[in-house]
Amino acid sequence: MLGYPGSMASRTATELVHPARDHLRFTTVLAALSDPVRLAIVARLADAGPDGELACTTFALPVSKSTQSGHFKVLREAGVIRQRDEGTRRLNQLRRDDLDARFPGLLDLAIPQGREVVAGW
């Protein structure tokens, strides 16, 4: 399957799904941001800048790889991050524009909290 246009990386079983901006739900986003590890991920992505992308492997998180994958999935499905596969890497980007448009000021509150989590590790 690899090597053909439109084929998915062999490590992914399904296509990555991202909710459209107008489908972002406040309670779903808040639930995604309620975990300290996910807040830390959001803070790191914010520090990468508006066009910054970070591979999952670049996050020094105090949880197992499978737990990390679950945290990234929650953030993606809530619409907090966008993910894309590039070769064997999965790149992550904060959906700041979408979140600021739907919930102004929310990330301005969440990002410093995530930085505090990282500082405490």
**By C-alpha distance, which of 84, 70, 71, 67 is closest to 40?**
71
What does pTM read for this prediction? 0.85
| Enclosing H/E stretch for 8 | none
pLDDT of residue 62: 85
Task: Answer whether 34's CB lies under 8 Å from 27's CB.
Answer: no
pLDDT of residue 51: 86
pLDDT of residue 9: 47
Tokens of 52: 């910054």
What string of pLDDT tens digits covers the 121 residues of the chain? Answer: 344 444 444 455 568 889 999 999 999 999 999 999 999 999 999 999 888 999 988 888 888 888 889 999 999 999 999 999 988 899 999 999 999 999 999 999 999 999 999 888 8
